[in-house]
Amino acid sequence: MHRLVYFSNANLDLNLSSIEGMVEMSAERNRSLHISGTLLYNGLNFLQILEGPRQALTPLYLQIRTDSRHSGVVKLVHERISMRSYPEWGMKLVCGAPEYTAATRESAPRNGGLYAMVDGFFRFGQAAACAELR
């Protein structure tokens, strides 16, 4: 089992409904590949955490890197893990609005520096990303 985390700049033409649609489609596909994770959005950037078998994560990440809905993709973490942090989520969108970040902090991985990375991500971007897009 592996975890892959990347950061990217969101395409400024994206709206919340298109992001939600992308996450919904990804959740279905990811479940069939035994991948779980979350897509964090702060109004400017994405931080995505993917967990699953290495043979499924690698081709998915290569596909993600070429997606025109974002740019500047930087892989931050690719590590072996013993258990999933998001076992129930094929993919879930978490935005920077306070009610979402509180829920994310409860479920964010606490090993290594990933919890601090998630917390810092929301401090970096806008505080109410999804609320502003509605």
DSSP conformation letters of 27-63:
HHHHHHTT-EEEEEE-SSEEEEEEEE-HHHHHHHHHH
Q: Map tokens 């978490």 to a residue.
A: 94
**Under the phi-then-psi rule, with left for phi > 0, alpha for psi from -120 to 50, and beta for the rest, what region is 10?**
beta
SS3 state at 66: coil
DSSP 105-123: HHHS--STTHHHHHHHHHH
User: Is the pLDDT assigned to residue 8 strictly greater than 80?
Assistant: yes
User: Is the pLDDT assigned to residue 73 strictly greater than 70?
Assistant: yes
**Dihedrals phi, psi of 66, to nearest 5 degrees:** -95, 5
Least confident of 13-22, 35-44, 74-83, 102-111: 102-111
Q: Map tokens 């699953």 to a residue.
A: 52
| pLDDT, position 120 | 63
Given CATH 3.30.70.100, say whether it is the number of domain 2-133: yes
| pLDDT, position 98 | 45
pLDDT tens track for 93-122: 887 644 444 445 445 545 556 666 666 666
| pLDDT, position 89 | 84
Domain boundaries, the chain: 2-133
Average pLDDT of the segment spanning 11-39 = 91
The band of 14, judged by pLDDT with boundaries at 50, 70 and 90, is: confident
